[in-house]
Amino acid sequence: MDNRSLKSMKARQPTSFLFDLDGTLVDSVYDHVLAWSAALQEEGIEVSIWRIHRRIGMSGGLFTRALARETGLEFDDATLTRLRALHAKHYSAHSANTRPLPGARELLKYLTDTKIPWAIATSGRMLTAGPVLKILGVDPDKVPVITRDLVAYAKPDPDLFLAAAEKLGIEIETACVVGDSIWDMLAAQRARALGIGYLSGGYGTDELERSGAYRVFEDPADMLAHIDEVGGRR
Amino acid sequence: MDNRSLKSMKARQPTSFLFDLDGTLVDSVYDHVLAWSAALQEEGIEVSIWRIHRRIGMSGGLFTRALARETGLEFDDATLTRLRALHAKHYSAHSANTRPLPGARELLKYLTDTKIPWAIATSGRMLTAGPVLKILGVDPDKVPVITRDLVAYAKPDPDLFLAAAEKLGIEIETACVVGDSIWDMLAAQRARALGIGYLSGGYGTDELERSGAYRVFEDPADMLAHIDEVGGRR
């Protein structure tokens, strides 16, 4: 290869990271599972808990529609509104005890110190996400945080991550989407970003890889220990 | 093949089923996860919840020893005793609301009606297992139930399943072990039984297959719908 062909090579783009919140930066997936389970039980709807677990992270609207399809039940709009309110009530009762996942604060600090752009994009609404962002030490006035309130469709649609990239002023094709659920990985593919999966939401490695993760780590601490492997060098 | 070689063939043995309890017949895995999480938090021990989930179903002693190794902490005997008591307290507070998994009662009834031997073998103690057996409609005086109280080592050691086979009066090599966790599948292999995995405890298909499941179903209802495929014909 001579110098001319090297010069015509597409310029290498710096990496950026678009993080999911629940199960990725904070240890809140199981609280969401139990909150949905309690909400459904209050409405007399029988759903096995593992089926709820496997749907956490997707848009609340798609979640209830998928449940309706799987259970063969029809939920009217009033039921859906009550379910969402019951979930928020049960979840909020526990979210004060939510803890950041190991290494989450350190990873975000490393990226900030290294001037690597990052943002948070969650299928949750600011009502439920706000308190855990505070626990994580993230100020939505200083860091780009995209919640369900700001886009038309949540995950596995790509809108949340597209909006996060736009707010960072970066091209989505240069970004990595970091999440714990297959909905993050599917949304990453639809957005043409690279997916990085974490085991910290309770999915297995294989499930994340099959939905598109190009790399799987245990949690933020594990990714920070291997940050050079995913474009995070200083 | 002539008739003589057919006659010398090893006799086909009837199948029997040795069931795990939590996450396999009753929807209690997530309650155990949260009970352990609350117990550990009360003792000031920080462990991510997904790591607890992935250890449910193994012997309580091995569980706490594994946590000690992973967290780098040392737990003295008094701490271990307190942890076990706190787990039992938190779990018992919720276990009255535990529901049988879909198809669990129907599957056990089918096996009983069809005279296919079955038993239950759980890493839990009768103290915590008793109430959920009642919810499931299983009377330990009539059905072989092997709990942690009756053997020296729980899963992934094979003892529980060996004891269950003995109580049924069958050869373990002719039995199927049915469970939702990799600890069931590993114990099945060590006991030389065939493993059947269920997704209803929250593990993924791949995790169960890699730990030895020769077949994976969603839950008891799914297995009952495919019972002919695993030797359950009348």
What does the pLDDT look like over A91-148, one tens digit per residue? 999 888 899 999 999 999 999 999 999 999 999 999 889 999 999 999 999 999 999 9
How far is the C-alpha of B53 from the C-alpha of B216, rounded, in Å?
Answer: 19
Local structure of B140: helix, strand or coil = coil
pLDDT at B223 over 60: yes
Higher pLDDT, B59 or A5: B59
Interface contact A30, partner B, CB < 8 A: yes
How far is the C-alpha of A105 from the C-alpha of A109, rounded, in Å?
Answer: 6
pLDDT at B10: 75
Least confident stretch, A10-14, A111-115, A186-190, A204-208: A10-14
Each residue's pLDDT tens digit, B158-180: 999 999 999 999 999 999 999 99
pLDDT at B128 over 60: yes
pLDDT at A2: 54
Least confident stretch, A71-80, A98-107, A125-134, A206-215: A71-80
**Beta strand extents in A88-210 (DSSP E only):** 118-121, 145-146, 175-179, 194-198
Average pLDDT value for chain B:
92
Partner residue opposite B48 with nearest CB, options A50, A200, A205:
A200
Each residue's pLDDT tens digit, B75-110: 888 998 999 899 999 999 988 889 999 999 999 999
How far is the C-alpha of B146 from the C-alpha of B126, rounded, in Å?
Answer: 9
Between positions 142 and 161 of B, the ones with CB within 8 A of A are none
**Catalytic residue list contains B22:** yes
What ipTM, to 2 d.p.?
A: 0.91
For range B57-62, the mean pLDDT = 86
Partner residue opposite B50 with nearest CB, options A54, A201, A207:
A201
pLDDT at B53: 96
What six digits make up the tokens of B35? 């009970």
Place B73 in a pLDDT band, splitting at 50, 70 and 90. confident
Cross-chain Cβ contact A97/B41 below 8 Å = yes
Local structure of A100: helix, strand or coil = strand
Between positions 78 and 137 of B, the ones with CB within 8 A of A are 97, 99, 101-102
Residue count of chain A: 234
Place A208 in a pLDDT band, splitting at 50, 70 and 90. very high
How far is the C-alpha of A63 from the C-alpha of A90, rounded, in Å?
Answer: 17
For chain B, list the domains and their CATH numbers: 16-28+99-230 (3.40.50.1000), 30-97 (1.10.150.240)
Interface contact B22, partner A, CB < 8 A: no
Do B128 and B148 meet the contact criterion of CB atoms below 8 Å apart?
no
B169 to chain A, closest Cα gap in Å = 34
Average pLDDT value for chain A:
92
Residues of A in contact with B48 (CB under 8 A): 27, 101-102, 200, 219
**Catalytic residue list contains B31:** no
DSSP, residue by residue, A183-210:
HHHHHHHHHTPEEEEEGGGS--HHHHHH
For range A44-70, the mean pLDDT = 90
The pTM assigned to this predicted structure is 0.92
Residues of B in contact with A99 (CB under 8 A): 46
Residue B97 CB contacts under 8 Å (≥ 6 apart), including other chains: A41
Q: Which residues pair with B231 in a beta bridge?
A: none
